[in-house]
Chains A and B, each alone.
Chain A
Amino acid sequence: MLSVEGLEARYGGARVLNGVTLDLRRGEVHAVLGRNGMGKTTLVRAVMGLSSPLVTAGEARLGDARLTGLPPHRVARLGVALVPQGRRLFPSLSVTEHLTLLKPAGARTGWTMERVFAAFPRLAERRKHRGGQLSGGERQMLAVGRALMADPTFLLMDEPSEGLAPVMVRALETVVAQLRAEGLGILLVEQNLYSALAVADRVSVLETGRVVHAASAAAVASDPGALTRFLGVH
């Protein structure tokens, strides 16, 4: 289980996380919702161990291992992978290079390039293309594929539906559901409430850096008013 306990973090003088506590089990999708600036991306960055924000209190743990304080590559090797906001592909690398960056060819177990191509056939057609030459949907698929090549047990997805056409959002939901069925735990950070609800098992709402509402997706579905109050959507 990936657990976050009382996590506080700041960017310079600005405190963004004020004691976030939540957990993520294998084989579930936990959606983290919230308006812009409520700390969703900061939470993901802090769990991943990226150099900013500065974590000032609390911790993220993976089972018995403390993640907080580890450099990002150690967090990744323990089984936490990131699909960052805005994809952040490498513009000068081909599709193939994105997928072989971590592991040299022939030294792979679990996820292989072939398996990623089987999951995302569009990427196979574009294997020689550079990250910058792909469409929005293809970029997101490659960002997911790149994360999977680390053989994660937990996947942090930061606004994956942002900027995608509705048909691509549906395709992404299918992928998320498949990965969950394979036993991955997925932390799905979203502004898109409806996309998140389509795949989530649990929902937490972040507001000014803390969890103000947590519920099962089933409970949200039966009383959507409770959630929309926090998110300010109708």
Chain B
Amino acid sequence: MLGFQLLNGFTFAALLFVVASGFTLIFGLLRIVNLSHGALYLLGGYVALAVSGWTGQFAAGVLAAMAAVALAGLALDQGLLRFVRGYELRQVLLTVGVAFVLNDLALVVWGGDTFTVPTPEALTGATEVLGVFYPTFRLFVLAAGALVFMLLSLLIHRTRLGALIRAGVDDAEMVAATGIDIRRVFLGTFMLGSALAGLGGALGGAFLSLYPGADAEILVFSLAVVIIGGRGSLLGAALGALLIGLLNTFGQVWFPELAYFVVFGPMALLLAFRPFGLFGRPA
């Protein structure tokens, strides 16, 4: 039973990491608390549902979700957010508004029913790990989360684009003064972060299922992950996701009445002593 719950915690953490890594990239570099990130996740889920339904290919659904949500991110950034650059409160309010609009649109198109993105044959069923039979698709999500962590780590720490992103997190103004068009780095990062929300939606749509309101749940968890990990920190997001994933799973098992407290209590405690999170720095 413990093995099963541990796996539940780890696999949920992997899904949270995929979503929260995109959130922390955008938050870290652009200083935008993109409260439509959850709505982008849900949009990704619905796109994956539609495309994998048409094509019969789960992989096509995942790729379509990433591409569609990256484009939605492009439209959001260039169509709306660029007019409120530098005004944090307006950005927050704007993205809340976008989340409401996307939600209503999803309700019109897909209705209020619960859907699950169909998974490919190879990933259905169960696999034996740690002495328990565990859903294969959830193990796939765990592997996908680990892969996303590795690829993002390589991107951020081993490439010039990654150095630009890190420098922008440190001091965007100096990056611009060095001769780099920081707005293009911003846009690329926003699209990458959005694509990760789309990937999260596709995976989460098969893992947790899609329904109106699923966006708000994942958003609140992602917010907690990023706040715990520290703005813009990939490693922080990974550790934050593990912590939240495990606390949420064991909280629901051991203290079902206090499940939210078990997740957000430690977060509040951590912030009291490390206001910028585990790996965050003051702006």
* Chain A residues at the B interface, C-beta cutoff of 8 Å: 48, 50-51, 71-73, 75-77, 81-82, 84, 88, 90-93, 97, 100-102, 104, 146-147, 149-150
Contact = CB atoms under 8 A, between A and B. Distances in A.
Mostly, the B contact residues are helix
Interface in B149-174: 160, 163-164, 166-167, 169-171, 173-174
Contact of B166 (A81, A88, A90): A90
Nearest to A75: B177
Nearest to B173: A50
Contact of A76 (B169, B171, B179, B281): B179
Interface of B: 86, 160, 163-164, 166-167, 169-171, 173-183, 281
Given A48-B177, A73-B182, A102-B178, A97 B163 contact: yes
24 contacts: A50-B173, A71-B176, A72-B173, A73-B180, A75-B177, A82-B177, A84-B174, A84-B177, A88-B171, A90-B171, A90-B174, A90-B175, A91-B281, A92-B166, A92-B167, A93-B163, A93-B170, A101-B160, A101-B163, A101-B167, A101-B180, A102-B179, A104-B160, A150-B178
A90 B160 CA distance: 14
A93 B178 contact: no
A29 B183 CA distance: 33
Contacts of B163: 93, 97, 100-101
Contact of A73 (B86, B170, B171, B181): B181
B194 to A, nearest CB: 23
A101 B160 CA distance: 7
Nearest to A91: B170
A150 B179 contact: yes
Interface centre among B164, B176, B183, B281 (most CB of A within 10 A): B176
B177 A72 contact: yes
A102 B176 contact: no
A82 B173 CA distance: 11
Given A97-B163, A101-B160, A92 B178 contact: no
Contacts of A77: 179
A101 B86 contact: no
Given A71-B176, A150-B179, A51 B167 contact: no
A77 B181 CA distance: 10
B167 A76 contact: no
Contact of A146 (B164, B166, B169, B178): B178
A50 B176 CA distance: 8
Contacts of B177: 48, 50, 72-73, 75-76, 81-82, 84
A211 B189 CA distance: 43
Given A50-B173, A90-B166, A93-B167, A73 B179 contact: yes
A165 B173 CA distance: 28
Given A50-B176, A92-B166, A100-B160, 19 more contacts: A73-B179, A81-B177, A81-B178, A81-B179, A82-B177, A84-B177, A88-B174, A90-B166, A90-B170, A92-B167, A92-B170, A93-B163, A97-B163, A97-B167, A100-B163, A101-B163, A101-B175, A104-B160, A150-B179
B86 A76 contact: no
Contacts of A81: 177-179
A18 B177 CA distance: 24
Contacts of B183: 71
A94 to B, nearest CB: 9
A149 B177 CA distance: 12
Contacts of A150: 178-179
Nearest to B162: A97
A72 B160 contact: no
Contacts of A71: 176, 181, 183
Nearest to A156: B177
Most buried by A among B170, B171, B178, B182: B178
